[in-house]
C-alpha cells in the first residue's frame, strides 16, 4: 500500500439530518445525538448539509447552535450554506453568535450561485429584487468582509442611551480564518484561494470542458493544486475532502448487503459526466477499513489532503450511522494514520 504524503490529521463526518415532515422533532434530535457520538468517538469535526424546502436541515446555523451546547470540543461545520438564500450581513451576525457560543468551534462552509429551482421560489424569496440579486462571488466576498470585521455602517457611537458599532457584533476574531468554500470547479477553487478561504471538496467535480477525459481523482487534484497555488498560505492552505465511504468492519450481514446495494445503484452516474453542467461523481467506497484505506491511499487527490469530512449516505438508519461512525473512528481513521482526540 502506498504511503499518503500527507498523514491524516483531522477526521470529520457530514450528515444531512433527515426528518419526518409530519414529526420533525425526532429527526433533529438524532442529528444532535450523532454529533454528540462523534465527539465521544474522538472525531475532530461534524458537518451538516443544508437543504431548503426539503426534509433535511434547512437551518444548519440553528442546529449547530444547539449542538454547541451539547458538545465541548468537536468542531462544527456547514457543508455548505448556499448564499443565494442569505443576506450576508444577517448571516454574518448569526455565524459570529454561534461561534462565540461554541467557544470558537464553528467552521462555516458556503457556496454561491442562484438558488435551486429559482423560478419557482423567487417570489417567496426575493419578491421585490429577484431580477437584480447578485448570486456571484460578490455575495461571498461581502460575507467574508463582514465576518472579518470590515465596516457594515458609516455610523458608530452613542445615540441617546444606545451604543452602536460600525461592524458586525458580536465580532469573533478567529472566525474569519475558519470560513470554507465548497468548490467543484477549477475557477471556484482558485477564487477561494485568492480570497484566503479554506477549501471543501466533495464527491462531485466539474470537468474542464467536453474534451476533459481525466478521471475524478485527477480533476479534484487539479482543483486542490490550483487552490493552494492561489492561496497566501500556499501548500499549507487547508483542504478537506468529502467522499462517501462506508466501512463494514462491524456491520451485520444485512447492513453489508444494503450498503453494497446503495453503492451499486449510484455507480452508473460515476461513469460519465451527468446533466447540463457535466458533473462527474466519485464512486462510493464500501468495504472493510483496510480495503477502504488501500483505495484512498491510491486516490490522487486524497494523497494531498490531511483533513476529511466523510459524507454519511442520506437514507440510512440511525443504527447504521452509529455503526459506520464507530468503524470510522476505531478502524478506518487509525488505518489512515489518524489518532482520535480525547
pLDDT tens for each residue of 49-63: 999 999 999 999 999
For residue 96, pLDDT beyond 60 = yes
Residues 6+ apart with CB under 8 A from 261: none
- pLDDT over 70 (residue 5): no
List pLDDT tens digits, range 131-164.
999 999 999 999 999 999 999 999 999 999 999 9
CATH code, residues 10-151+168-335? 3.20.20.30
Tell me the C-alpha distance between 320 and 339, whole Å.
23
pTM score: 0.96
In the predicted structure, residue 3 carries a pLDDT above the cut 80 = no
Give pLDDT, residue 301.
97
DSSP lists the bridge partners of residue 279 as: 274
On whether the CB atoms of residues 13 and 310 are closer than 8 A, the answer is yes
Grid coordinates of 327: 468503524
Sequence ranges of the domains in the chain: 10-151+168-335
What is the C-alpha separation between 333 and 285, in angstroms, rounded?
Answer: 15
pLDDT greater than 60 at residue 4? no
Written as nine digits, the cell of 77 is 461545520
Q: CA 192, CA 227: separation in Å to the nearest integer?
A: 7
Quick: pLDDT tens for 158-214: 999 999 999 999 999 999 999 999 999 999 999 999 999 999 999 999 999 889 999
Using CA of residue 20, residue 25, residue 29, residue 31, what is the dihedral sign? positive
Q: Which three cell numbers stand for residue 136?
A: 456571484
Nearest Cα to 198, choosing from 225, 173, 178?
Answer: 178
Instruction: Quickly state the pLDDT bin for 6 (edges 50, 70, 90).
Output: confident
Closest CA to 228 of 173, 186, 174: 186
Answer yes or no: is pLDDT of 228 > 70.
yes
d(CA 219, CA 273): 12
* pLDDT tens digits for range 25-57: 999 999 999 999 999 999 999 999 999 999 999
pLDDT band at residue 1 using 50, 70 and 90 as cut-offs? very low
Half-sphere exposure of 119 (CA within 13 A, CB side): 0
| Average pLDDT value for residue range 297-313 | 97
Mean pLDDT of 3-9: 71
CB count, 10 Å around CB of 103?
11
The residues near 100 (Cβ < 8 Å, ≥ 6 apart) are: 170, 172
Q: What is the mean pLDDT of residues 228-251?
A: 98
Q: Which residue has the cell 478502524?
A: 331
Amino acid at each position: 500500500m502506498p504511503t499518503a504524503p500527507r498523514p491524516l490529521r483531522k477526521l470529520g463526518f457530514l450528515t444531512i439530518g433527515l426528518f419526518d415532515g409530519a414529526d420533525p422533532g425526532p429527526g433533529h434530535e438524532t442529528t444532535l445525538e450523532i454529533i454528540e457520538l462523534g465527539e465521544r468517538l474522538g472525531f475532530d469535526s461534524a458537518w451538516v448539509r443544508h437543504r431548503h424546502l426539503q426534509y433535511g436541515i434547512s437551518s444548519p446555523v440553528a442546529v449547530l447552535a444547539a449542538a454547541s451546547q451539547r458538545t465541548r470540543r468537536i468542531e462544527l461545520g456547514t457543508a455548505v450554506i448556499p448564499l443565494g438564500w442569505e443576506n450576508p450581513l444577517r448571516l454574518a451576525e448569526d455565524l459570529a453568535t454561534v461561534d462565540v457560543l461554541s467557544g470558537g468551534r464553528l467552521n462555516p462552509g458556503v457556496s454561491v450561485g442562484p438558488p435551486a429551482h429559482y423560478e419557482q421560489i423567487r417570489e417567496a424569496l426575493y419578491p421585490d429584487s429577484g431580477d437584480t440579486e447578485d448570486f456571484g462571488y460578490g455575495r461571498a466576498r461581502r460575507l467574508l468582509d463582514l465576518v472579518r470585521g470590515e465596516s457594515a455602517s458609516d455610523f458608530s457611537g452613542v445615540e441617546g442611551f444606545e451604543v452602536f458599532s460600525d461592524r458586525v457584533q458580536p465580532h469573533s476574531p478567529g472566525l474569519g480564518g475558519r470560513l470554507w468554500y465548497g468548490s467543484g470547479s477549477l475557477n471556484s477553487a482558485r477564487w477561494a484561494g485568492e480570497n484566503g478561504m479554506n477549501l471543501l471538496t466533495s464527491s462531485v467535480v466539474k470537468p474542464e470542458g467536453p474534451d476533459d477525459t481525466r478521471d475524478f481523482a485527477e480533476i479534484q487534484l487539479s482543483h486542490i493544486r490550483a487552490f493552494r497555488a492561489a492561496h497566501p498560505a500556499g501548500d499549507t492552505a487547508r483542504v478537506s475532502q468529502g467522499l462517501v465511504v462506508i466501512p463494514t468492519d462491524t456491520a451485520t450481514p444485512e447492513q453489508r448487503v444494503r450498503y453494497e446495494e446503495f453503492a451499486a445503484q449510484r455507480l452508473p452516474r460515476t461513469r460519465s459526466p451527468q446533466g447540463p453542467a457535466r458533473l462527474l461523481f466519485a464512486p462510493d467506497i464500501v468495504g472493510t477499513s483496510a480495503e477502504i484505506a488501500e483505495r484512498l491511499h491510491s486516490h490522487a487527490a486524497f494523497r494531498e489532503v490531511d483533513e476529511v469530512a466523510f459524507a454519511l449516505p442520506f437514507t440510512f438508519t440511525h443504527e447504521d450511522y452509529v455503526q459506520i461512525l464507530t468503524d470510522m473512528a476505531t478502524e478506518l481513521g487509525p488505518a489512515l494514520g489518524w489518532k482520535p482526540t480525547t
